[in-house]
Amino acid sequence: MDDGMKLDTVAGKRVLITGAAMGLGKLFAERAVREGAAAVVVWDINEVALKQTAEELGALAAATGRGGVIHAHAVDVSARDAVATAADAVRAETGGIDILVNNAGIVRGNSYFWETENPADIDQTIAINSLAPMYITREFLPAMVGGTSEARVLNIASSAGLVANPRMSVYAGSKWAAIGWSDSVRIELEHAGHKHVRVTTVCPTYINTGMFEGAKGFLLTPILEQNDVVETAWQAMKKGTPVVIMPWTSRLNKALSGVLPIKLRDLFLNTVGVYHSMDEFTGRK
């Protein structure tokens, strides 16, 4: 990338993080506060947990002397109208957003697709994992493009969007959509010459946030530590790195899936354990 577009810090920037009440989202918000973001906007559907997180972030801002203002909004990101209303409120409060972290997500699994009992689970998974990042980014990207300062969009996708996996077909499909959209927007910005706005797509395997409780790591691929994922994603976002796939075994699986005949691909992924990683999945209660 152009070194002139490197973002060394989010100090003075306005940062919005979705799914920020816990897990990765909360850690991203803490990063923003510690770096001195002028405003840290946190969205989550869990109003109780969000309120607690906002209080903790406010205390952190006071303790570090960074002085950033915390704005908390209970938002159902699966509802386009709710996203639009919350975005209007954010613009009224902060004037706009410089750094957008699309982190909110859900997972449904441990059953074959035809065993899906509630079709609403399909709708919700697609709405939150695929459509919400599109709706939210559409709200803030035009102003980023129209500005002149460095701006970033960080989209948390999944390695499940790179390689097919049984017992999580809808989730995988939602993340395939998210990856295709996210990286396409990156290319659009490059084609249009808007070098000050960068999109980073992060594709991790299972993370120890509780969201993937019961999922199993596979050959040379343990469950990822959430702090490691946040550190890697945060630094990549600031550098403007286009795509991050972690760990290295996910990059290998993706590469082999692209060159091996289907039967050999399935044999390989089945042997190393990818195709059985969701057999005992329970998820967050």
pLDDT digits (tens, 9 = 90+) for 210-266: 777 777 777 778 889 999 999 999 999 999 999 999 989 999 999 998 999 999 999
Considering the domain boundaries, does residue 127 fall inside one? yes
Considering the domain boundaries, does residue 123 fall inside one? yes
Which has the closest alpha carbon to 32: 106, 111, 103? Answer: 103
Residue 1's pLDDT is 42
Please give the residue range of the domain that contains residue 205.
Answer: 3-276
pLDDT digits (tens, 9 = 90+) for 18-39: 999 999 999 999 999 999 999 9
How do beta strands 151-156 and 39-44 pair? unpaired
Which has the closest alpha carbon to 99: 219, 193, 220, 11? Answer: 11
The better pLDDT of the pair 130, 276 is held by: 130
Percent composition of the chain: helix, strand, coil (DSSP 3-state, to 5):
50, 15, 35
Active-site residue set = 171
Considering the domain boundaries, does residue 283 fall inside one? no
User: Could you count the other beta carbons within 10 Å of the beta carbon of residue 48?
Assistant: 10
Number of domains the chain is built from = 1
Considering the domain boundaries, does residue 213 fall inside one? yes
CATH number of domain containing 180: 3.40.50.720
Q: What is the DSSP string of 247-283?
A: SHHHHHHHHHHHHS-HHHHHHHHHHHTGGGTTTT---
Residue 89's pLDDT is 98
Considering the domain boundaries, does residue 285 fall inside one? no
Considering the domain boundaries, does residue 72 fall inside one? yes
Residue 106's pLDDT is 93
Structure tokens at 146: 């129209």
Q: Supply the pTM of this predicted model.
A: 0.92
pLDDT digits (tens, 9 = 90+) for 95-149: 999 999 999 999 876 789 999 989 999 999 999 999 999 999 999 999 999 999 9
Residue 285 has pLDDT above 60, yes or no: no
**Please, which pLDDT band fits residue 176 given cuts at 50, 70 and 90?**
very high
Considering the domain boundaries, does residue 66 fall inside one? yes
Residue 273's pLDDT is 86
Considering the domain boundaries, does residue 20 fall inside one? yes
Mean pLDDT score, 154-162? 95
Cα–Cα distances in angstroms (integers) from residue 266 to residues 177, 251, 257, 259, 270, in the given order: 22, 16, 9, 12, 6
Rg (Cα) of the chain, in Å, rounded? 19
